[in-house]
Amino acid sequence: MRALTPNGTAGGAAKGAVVAMPKRTRFANTRSGFDYLIVGAGFAGSVLAERLATELDKRVLLIDRRPHIAGNAYDHYNDAGLLIHRYGPHIFHTNSTQVVNYLSRFTKWRPYEHKVLAHVDEQLVPIPINLTTLEKLYGLKLTPEDAEAFLKSKAEPVAEIRTSEDVVVGAVGRELYEKFFRGYTRKQWGLDPSELDKSVTSRVPTRTNTDDRYFGDSFQSMPLHGYTRMFENMLDHPNIKVMLNTDFEEVRTEVQYDKLIYSGPIDEYFDFRFGKLPYRSLQFRHETVEQENFQPVAVVNYPSEDVAYTRITEYKHLTGQVNPRTSLTYEYPAADGDPYYPVPRPENAELYRKYQALADATPDVTFVGRLGTYRYYNMDQVVGQALALFKRIEETEKSESGLARAARSMARVNGTVRAEAAQGAGD
Ligand code: FAD
Ligand code: UDP
């Protein structure tokens, strides 16, 4: 990976690098410009940059408006020497061996199974709701069969599960819904669960055994040296140039490229032609405290609407680092700010479909990623999406170069025919 400075040399990124560029050609490398301009150096953009450079020998310019690579997965060592995630806790989990095999080229892994507790009724209890949660909240001693019967007795029949309220009320009843989900969701999304698609709270299962892992996936591990290091390894290729602090608007007419891959918000690309697609934002409060440990697990959720934040993360649990101090992040949901979450509800899906139709009618631009395709995707899903997109690009590139080869050989044949004809005419 080489980061371009204003004069195009390798080095750190500079703010306003591109504004100072008077001519398009200054960015062009020795052949004629770049094959691909990729907007966004998160998972979507970086996987595609790596694949295009490594497999197809394409010259790629990867830009990001932020001062770093890795998108929302960016992590770094803070002043206390602790590895923290700038944009909130990113826990890697997947059922896809294809995704694990791919990422394992760029990182080793630290096995880690994510545990979350919720602050409910003045105590910390496991979420997802499991047998232990019920025992602690209701002072019971239960077998898994008892727990199942208990939840069945609490669950409300829901004719058609449509919303995020339906999912939970239909599984555990209104009381547990109100304790664990209603307040958290209203804070997190600024909407009542009844106004959100069922896919949102369906992300959190209900269990009747003592399994207290947040995820059930077959692979659960953290990149051994962090996400940013993994991205650095991914982008370490002579065909990939990285420009940070660079917005697409600043370079769209300054850089020569054949094709564009865009992993920013799709509505922004089209100048909000049909109106803004709603995204939910967050404010992060990062803090280091003078104590070795702060909470028993990496994440504690605070569902009560009386508390402004939704959760606190303590990073040591993810990394296993030993340090006399510990670093935390508080998440405060917000309407304005960086677009972190697409908001899954029918009217937004409909608006997105309009943008998608525009995208389909814009063949030289490909949209990808959580913001580019307006999907509430986890990291592994974005990697899977990018790998699938690469396959399609590879097929197109191969058939295009096959056509070009055929055209060239046809031209050669025609040339020979013409030359022979000319020779014949002269004979
Ligand atoms: P991003 O990471 O958002 O990257 C897009 C990049 O494009 C950004 O860096 C942005 O600056 C850049 N960009 C946008 N527009 C422009 C422009 N016009 N010009 C230049 N650059 C531009 N997933 C999990 O699997 N596990 C988790 O535990 C998890 N926790 C999460 C916690 C939080 C708080 C959030 C917000 C997300 C979490 N995710 C988690 C989801 C994960 O962050 C995403 O799936 C993943 O990062 C998406 O990658 P991406 O490349 O699509 O988008
Ligand atoms: N949720 C909740 N209470 C919890 C945990 C989750 O209400 O204790 C709901 C909430 O709406 C949240 C959604 O379930 O946005 C998905 O949770 P997840 O932990 O997957 O959210 P993310 O990590 O993506 O922010």
Q: Is 158 within the bounds of a domain?
A: yes
Residues 135 and 251 in one domain: no
Out of 379, 381, 389, give the residue to mutate to test ligand 1, the one with the largest number of ligand atoms within 8 Å of its CB: 379
Structure confidence at residue 58 as a pLDDT band (50, 70, 90): very high
Closest ligand 2 atom to 183 CA: 7
Could you tell me the distance, in angstroms and rounded to a whole number, from the CA of residue 92 to the centre of ligand 1?
A: 13
Residue 41 confidence (pLDDT): 99
Q: Is the CB of 42 under 6 A from ligand 1?
A: yes
Mean pLDDT of 8-23: 31
**128 and 22 together in one domain:** no
The pTM is what?
0.91
Residue 362 lies inside a defined structural domain of this protein: yes
Atom of ligand 2 nearest to the CA of 127: 8
Q: What is the mean pLDDT of the chain?
A: 91
Q: Rounded to whole angstroms, what are the CA distances from 344 to 163, 280, 386?
A: 10, 10, 21
Residue 280: what pLDDT? 98
Q: Check pLDDT > 90 for residue 219.
A: yes
The answer, yes or no, to whether any atom of ligand 2 lies below 6 A from the CB of 152, is: no
Domain contains 287? no
Most informative mutation of 15, 18, 263 for ligand 1 (most atoms within 8 A of CB): 263
Domain that holds residue 168: 116-202
Looking at the fold, whether 65 and 121 belong to one and the same domain comes out as no
Based on the fold, state whether residues 259 and 404 are members of the same structural domain.
yes
CATH of the domain at 242: 3.40.50.720
In this structure, are 34 and 180 located in the same domain?
Answer: no
Last residue of a domain, one of 151, 177, 202: 202
Question: Has residue 307 been placed in a domain?
Answer: no
Clarify whether residues 272 and 407 are in a common domain: yes
Q: Which of 202, 222, 254 is the last residue of a domain?
A: 202
Residue 371 has pLDDT above 70, yes or no: yes
Q: Which of 26-30, 307-311, 317-321 has the lowest mean pLDDT?
A: 26-30
Q: Kindly state whether residue 337 falls inside one of the protein's structural domains.
A: no
| Per-residue pLDDT band at 27 (split at 50, 70, 90) | very low
Determine, yes or no, domain membership for 57.
Answer: yes
Q: Both 390 and 258 in a single domain? A: yes
258-313 pLDDT, tens digit per residue, is 999 999 999 999 999 999 999 999 999 999 999 999 999 999 999 999 999 999 99
Are 131 and 60 part of one and the same domain? no
d(CA 184, ligand 2 centre) in Å? 7
Specify if 49 maps to a domain: yes
pLDDT tens sequence across 222-262: 999 999 999 999 999 999 999 999 999 999 999 999 999 99
Residue 325 included in any domain: no
More confident residue, 1 or 318: 318
- The pLDDT value recorded for residue 1 is 53
Same domain assignment for residues 178 and 265: no
Pocket test for ligand 2, best of 204, 301, 309, 318 (most atoms within 8 A of CB): 204
Domain end, chosen from 147, 182, 202, is at 202
Do both 262 and 364 map to the same domain? yes
**2, 61: one domain:** yes
Domain count along the chain: 2
Statement: residue 335 has pLDDT above 70 = yes
Out of 33-42, 69-78, 343-352, 400-409, pick the least confident. Answer: 400-409
pLDDT at 14: 33
Same domain, 391 and 242: yes
Rounded Cα distance, 65 and 87, in Å: 15
Q: Is the pLDDT of residue 3 over 90?
A: no
